[in-house]
Structure 1
Amino acid sequence: MGDEIELDITNVAHGGVCVSRYGGRVVFVADTIPGERVLARVTEARKKSFVRASTVRVITASEHRREHVWAAASLDRDPAERAGGAEFGHIDLAEQRRLLASVITDSLRRMAGIEREVVVEAAPGDDECNGLGWRTRISLHTDAAGRVGPYAARTHTVVEVPDYPLAHHEVAMLTLGLPGTVRAGQTLDVIAPSASPPFVAVSEGSRGPQRGAARIRERVGSREFELSKTGFWQVHLAAPDVLTAAVQDAIDPALFDPAADNLDLYGGVGLLAAAVLDRFPGKTRITTVESDVLATECAADNLADSPGAYAQTGRVDRYLANYQRGATPAELARMRAATIILDPPRSGAGGEVCAALISLAPAQLVYVACDPVAFARDAATLTAGGYTLTGMRAFDLFPHTHHVEIVATLVRSDLLGSRSVSAE
């Protein structure tokens, strides 16, 4: 810990760090780019197989290095004082996306044996503003000394910063009045909905923001969605529109049966179920499954204009297990004809859910993923269980960070020749 070593950076790793080797050990290095030589300080050395380090000084710079978009996260600050949340801010946008694409393709190759190239697409307007001003939600913290700000990268240390360049202008303006108005140990969620006034939700310690009946509204195309004030919603202001269109495009219409037992798993407040209903208007049946009671209540209201839409509160693994146990032959037939959307948390759907999907054998899956490694792990399970990855797109919905969104289509392999299926 604390040693400073010179390193040659070879490639990028998942998690916003790059890779080097020193003394026979892998070193994961922050704030650098493949091809660079840097002086780095060891920040974690507890593992025998690898250590972590942060760049202190660039000796040989990459052609893709740029002045950091956020001075508070740049090399001008000591690594312990660098704001977290913009770990790719020193790299030009095009190279950021190339690095993200390489993480996706490498994960699929290593974990699922799938060779597939992908281009990470920009969200509308991001190139024109250099990937700034997109965050409609940020979380800030206060410490015992009364400081207000984000955590330093990979720590729970609060650092003071003069600005928030990734934040939407309404969010950035709200943060200006926060110092002096809060107490130690509070967390501040600063939120600017698209169809409700901006606000700050205050919570104490690590308990998270209080949940309640109060709702806000978000606009996506011609629809408005209600959600609880601190409920989950996509952070990038363009992400709901981008993902709506991507999910609609990812569904193979030749395999879509409106009468099937179509599902929107981890459905939240119904955003992607609405995407399906708008893509196939009329008598489409679809059920959202979501463990959060408040989100399910909002989903029921948001989809109330569609008679075939239902909102079910429950854990996805339990819902699928109960379906399997109680389904009639007719219901199982409707499930085999189904299109299932799944948008799991960062950890992925997991083995139990994937096994249930393989057993139920719906016609097609549209998998929305925010973690390439978790997606690759689930893709390995699903393709081994009889599905084929037929389409995949990736979107840079978190510019200047290592996060990326994937929308993939997996079709039951026996249907690839017929390209049609029916619940009849």
Structure 2
Amino acid sequence: MKLQIEGAIYGGAGLAHQTDGESISVPFVLPGELVEVDIRHKRKNFEEASLLRVLKDSEDRVQPTCIHFGECGGCQYQHSQYPAQLKMKESILQETLEHAGLKTLPVIQSHTASPWAYRNRVRLRLEEVGSTLRAGYNRRGTNEFLAIQECPITAPLLWRAAQSLLQVAAENPASRRWLSNAVEIEFFTTGDEKKLQMTVLVRKDQPGLAALCERMRRFVPELVGAGSALLKRAGPQRQIQKPRPLENWGTRGLSYQVGNEDYWVSRGGFFQVNRFLIDELIRIVATNRQGLLAWDLYAGVGLFSRALTNGFQQVVAVEAAGADLINSFKGAGRRAVESTTVEFLRKAVVQRERPQLIVMDPPRAGVGAEVCSLLAKVLSPQIVYVSCDPVTLARDLKLLVDVGYRLDELHLVDLFPQTFHLETIVVLSR
């Protein structure tokens, strides 16, 4: 059937309607385009279609940069000029928040950097194709392996490291045998691409990682540390098994410099993925904020905590997996707490603590109803909420607005160009 694409929806697809009002989502289209589609799946409230051809192009349509676009599950927007990608994300953010009942919204302020080669981390599958070891991703919409030849959204060092690993496997039988038990490989680099960490996820423990790394350093001298982790399959979900440490080589993490600060990131630890926009995140969250006490909840390695010490007499950084944070966030006016946010807030409510500022950067699931309820009892005059999921963000913001907070600033930070993912920073006050 022929459809007119009306707009973009979260997840990367375009939205259209049949004459009977039924909603249809179509991938790889742009607002305003006339397309021909084939209905593939019928859901409860909408239908999913596959794109057959574009009958009338948008002026924003471009040739994708990556040869794997459309097959690979990683990117959704490479067929669009970058300014149009940003416009779609702004529209999606606005509509998602309004749909949750947030009618009075600040103007969205967008923040961007280079839309290519921005990722400081990549995780690839390893599979034998014929008799050759290949690296790749999942084919779009499946768990099927897709061998790739390039990934232009990653820092060049990451793909060079992946190619070097495959070259070592091809040239050295011992390395090839060792990698035959590898399932996935992850590389993480500093923003300037001067240092690299590698994690190999394997089916069984085995010696030989050090020899592999020494061979890789001939091609990738930036490699400073590596480790292996046991990966077992438990039904449809993969779980990393951590009953005992496997082999390590070199350093166990990286010192990642942002501005004048160095952050120790252990191998496998979370850090913001866009190497070009971390400074901007810190500026929006922490610059020109001051007071006696600030809390940084879901603090990670303390990305925002350190910046907050410039304006606050005391900063408390809270992180459930807080080993790195406790070791690095020390000194006068700094306190690191290894705790879940909800446990920390329960105690804080009893002790009647009241910071002037609360910063929250939760995982994709958001903070949830109980945390919002506890925040309503703490009554901090200002909250800065950093979110990577507009749906859970909208849910949480509605709960906070209902207990008396108002939305003062709304920032879209495009940490994930070429994909549907977006980062949002919201400043709330009472």
The answer to whether the superposition gives a TM-score over 0.5 is: yes
Counterpart pick for 2:291 among 249, 257, 263? 257
Aligned to 2:259: 221
Alignment of 1:50-199 (within 5 A): 50-74=46-70, 82-116=71-105, 117-123=107-113, 126=114, 131-143=115-127, 145=129, 147-179=134-166, 180=169, 181=176, 182-183=179-180, 186-194=183-191, 197-199=195-197
How many Å separate the matches in 1 of 2:199 and 2:2?
A: 44
Aligned to 1:289: 318
Are the aligned partners of 2:183 and 2:201 in contact in 1 as well (CA < 8 Å)? yes
Task: Report % sequence identity.
Answer: 25
Aligned to 1:380: 398
How many Å separate the matches in 2 of 1:25 and 1:202?
A: 46
Q: RMSD across aligned C-alpha pairs, in angstroms? A: 2.2
In terms of fraction of residues, the more strand-rich structure is 2
TM-score (norm 2): 0.81
Aligned to 2:347: 322
Letter in 2 for 1:288: A
Deviation at 1:407, TM superposition (A): 1.5
Deviation at 1:291, TM superposition (A): 1.1
Secondary structure of 2:257's match? strand
Is 2:389 the partner of 1:371?
A: yes
Q: Deviations over 1:200-258 (max 9, x none)?
A: 21113423496969222110111111021110011111232111111124x6x4xx422
Is 2:269 the partner of 1:235?
A: no
Aligned to 1:418: none
Letter in 1 for 2:23: V
How many Å separate the matches in 1 of 2:297 and 2:405?
A: 18
Change (3 A) 1:209 1:143: farther
Deviation at 1:43, TM superposition (A): 4.5
How many Å separate the matches in 2 of 1:157 and 1:299?
A: 38
How many Å separate the matches in 2 of 1:236 and 1:209?
A: 28
Is 2:359 the partner of 1:341?
A: yes
Are the aligned partners of 2:295 and 2:357 in contact in 1 as well (CA < 8 Å)? yes
Secondary structure of 1:286's match? strand
Aligned to 1:421: none
Letter in 2 for 1:371: D
Secondary structure of 2:164's match? coil
Deviation at 1:37, TM superposition (A): 2.0
How many Å separate the matches in 2 of 1:227 and 1:44?
A: 43
Secondary structure of 1:311's match? strand
Is 2:342 the partner of 1:358?
A: no
Aligned length: 374
TM-score (norm 1): 0.82
Is 2:203 the partner of 1:207?
A: no
How many Å separate the matches in 1 of 2:28 and 2:349?
A: 48
Deviation at 1:342, TM superposition (A): 0.3
Change (3 A) 1:42 1:142: farther
How many Å separate the matches in 2 of 1:48 and 1:185?
A: 40
Aligned to 1:309: 334
Aligned to 1:78: none
How many Å separate the matches in 1 of 2:63 and 2:181?
A: 33
Letter in 2 for 1:122: T
Q: Deviations over 1:166-211 (max 9, x none)?
A: 1101012112134455336712112212476213211134234969
Q: Deviations over 1:333-389 (max 9, x none)?
A: x41x42100001112111111111011111110111111222111111101101111
Letter in 2 for 1:268: G
User: Unaligned regions of 5+ residues in structure 1, if any?
Assistant: 75-81, 413-424
Aligned to 1:417: none
How many Å separate the matches in 1 of 2:411 and 2:23?
A: 31
Change (3 A) 1:341 1:317: same
How many Å separate the matches in 2 of 1:66 and 1:184?
A: 40
Are the aligned partners of 1:98 and 1:120 in contact in 2 as well (CA < 8 Å)? no
Q: Deviations over 1:7-39 (max 9, x none)?
A: 321111111111123465322211111111223
Counterpart pick for 2:14 among 12, 18, 39? 18
Is 2:41 the partner of 1:9?
A: no
Q: Deviations over 1:382-408 (max 9, x none)?
A: 011011111121111111111111111
Letter in 2 for 1:142: L
Counterpart pick for 1:269 among 301, 318, 326? 301
How many Å separate the matches in 1 of 2:21 and 2:100?
A: 24
Are the aligned partners of 2:135 and 2:162 in contact in 1 as well (CA < 8 Å)? no
Are the aligned partners of 2:24 and 2:46 in contact in 1 as well (CA < 8 Å)? yes
Change (3 A) 1:40 1:191: farther
